[in-house]
Amino acid sequence: RRYSVVKYLNPNVAEVGPRTFMQSDQINHFQGNVVRRFEPIDSAVLQSAGMAEMCNLFAESNDLPEGAEIEIHQMRVVAIEKDTQVAPEGIHQDGFDHIAMIAIHRHNIVGGEIMLYDDSRHDPFFKKALADGEAVLLADSKLWHNATPINAVSPEEEGHLDLFVLTARGEKA
């Protein structure tokens, strides 16, 4: 996983600089109150046209103001064992107002379906394995989410799921 924070400056983004990442144990029962340090996302990726487009769509969809901070997680989940967990914390919220999960590439896997919930006690009202390029945006302060485990289709070859997760606070919550 890589992690960076950018400032939304329509239509561009500006890197904020290195940051640690932490969620309270009230939000994240799996790794709450743990300061996590990740390598930053490569500057070439952060300054790419694709990243600008993702951040612009995310900001516009959520009425984020000019100068809003967007936290970006670049993730690769590797299917290294049977039922590799995509979201080890289970049904959860992330402590933000807005989240976008953008599927970049699925390779040699089944599973990894995103599930959305009205609360943490009922069945999901939405369940889908996002195809490359598909995204889901949700109001994290109102909805809960999870994902099904992934498994390699062919065990002789690595299976993985590449995605970006964008988060922000403010406006339209």
* pLDDT, tens only, 50-102: 999 999 999 999 999 999 999 999 999 999 878 999 988 889 888 889 999 99
Q: Has residue 122 got a pLDDT over 80?
A: yes
Give, for 139, the enclosing helix (H) or strand (E): strand 135-139
pTM of this prediction? 0.87
Task: Calculate the average pLDDT of the chain.
Answer: 89
Listed by start position, the domains of the chain span 2-168
CATH superfamily of 2-168: q2cbj1_9rhob like domain (2.60.120.620)
What mean pLDDT is predicted for residues 6-26? Answer: 76
User: Which of 9-18, 20-29, 76-85, 127-136 is modeled with the greatest confidence?
Assistant: 127-136
d(CA 150, CA 19): 29
Residue 41 structure tokens: 């996302």
**Contacts of residue 2, Cβ cutoff 8 Å, sequence gap at least 6:** 38, 39, 40, 41, 42, 73, 74, 75
Percentage of the chain with pLDDT > 90? 71
